[in-house]
Amino acid sequence: MSPDSAPAAAQRIDGVAVARAVRDDVALEVAELKTRGITPGLTVVIVGEDPASQTYVRAKEKASVEAGMKGETIRLAADVSQAELEQLIDRLNADDSVHGILVQSPLPKHMDSNTVVRRISPAKDVDGFHPVNVGKLLTGEKDGFAPCTPAGVQELLVRYGVSTTGKDVVIVGRSNIVGKPMAALLMQQGAGGDCTVTVCHSRTRDLAAHTRRADIVIAALGRPESITGDMIRPGAVVIDVGISRVADPSAARGYRLAGDVHFESAAQVASFITPVPGGVGPMTIAMLLKNTVRAARQAGA
């Protein structure tokens, strides 16, 4: 359905189903690479015992193994020195069986995360945060790696047949993880690109004036349910990257998960919309696996 006409209620974009399809494609690529003696390998390094990070890392390792890849997790104590972490990264950079390296955030306060990111070889930086890969994304070079969440958003748009060519996109949020790389991806030529992009942020005046004119709204500002239906143009596509815990006494755990978009009101005017959870979230790991397989293919070329 075109975002030029509003339906009675928006069609939900099923991120779980699309992520499963991407992971199935990855498994086929892994099987093909194995016939050439290449087993893609992803190594995740986690420092400390942050519960959310531990859960996420376990999910990454499980997804890697399910795709037929080599999935490894290296766990370091919270008091490990930065020098020791950098020495580990150097060893992984030199290990030909490791094609993707990811150092899980957040890092302990005594570490400089920017220095850690720069230590990873750009050819193995499947998170897409190394300055070399950031530069390649901006210039449109195809052998770099885009950050996984923005790449997942673009994949959702493409797989749902959302036309992006010439469309006005408003991204709410300017982080290095989502907002900025999302803008760069959507400006590129080709499928899922060719957009006219506006990036809004905390200092933007009259945010609603921007979002109401957009064909596609991508919310990634980290404030739950701050984008409401009256801020959406009828027929627009709404992509919600945010996820927060919101107090809810009626829920068994005392909270519920909410995105940056007020789903109920936005769904009444949008043509397509991602739910939270089950929208953008599952795509992040899927695109991480996709980046790792491409890193392995490029290393073996």
**Both tokens of residue 100?**
């993707």
The pLDDT score that the predictor gives to residue 301 is 62
Predicted confidence (pLDDT) per residue in 243-284, tens digit: 999 999 999 999 999 999 999 999 999 999 999 999 999 999
Average pLDDT, the chain: 95
Is residue 5's pLDDT more than 60?
no
Distance CA 48, CA 31 (A): 34
Q: Among the listed ranges 7-21, 140-154, 281-295, which one has the minimum average pLDDT value?
A: 7-21
- Annotation says 82 is catalytic: no
Distance CA 294, CA 271 (A): 33
- Annotation says 62 is catalytic: no
Distance CA 30, CA 63 (A): 13
Catalytic residue among 14, 60, 154, 188: 60
Express as a percent the part of the chain with pLDDT over 90: 94
Instruction: Based on DSSP, count helices (H) and strands (E) in the chain, helices before strands.
Output: 10, 11
Predicted confidence (pLDDT) per residue in 153-179, tens digit: 999 999 999 999 999 999 999 999 999
Catalytic residue among 14, 104, 180, 290: 104
Predicted confidence (pLDDT) per residue in 29-64, tens digit: 999 999 999 999 999 999 999 888 899 899 999 999
Predicted confidence (pLDDT) per residue in 190-220, tens digit: 999 999 999 999 999 999 999 999 999 999 9
Predicted confidence (pLDDT) per residue in 80-124, tens digit: 999 999 999 999 999 999 999 999 999 999 999 999 999 999 999
The pLDDT score that the predictor gives to residue 52 is 86
- Annotation says 127 is catalytic: yes
72 touches 41 (CB < 8 A): yes
**Both tokens of residue 113?**
């995360």
| Mean pLDDT to the nearest integer, 1-24 | 80
3-class secondary structure per residue, 230-298: HHCCCCCEEEECCCEEEECCCCCCCEEEECCECHHHHCCCCCEECCCCCCCHHHHHHHHHHHHHHHHHH
The pLDDT score that the predictor gives to residue 8 is 60
Is residue 6's pLDDT more than 60?
no
Q: Which domains are assigned to the chain?
A: 37-121 (3.40.50.10860), 147-280 (3.40.50.720)
Catalytic residue among 14, 125, 127, 215: 127
The pLDDT score that the predictor gives to residue 1 is 41
Is residue 126's pLDDT more than 60?
yes
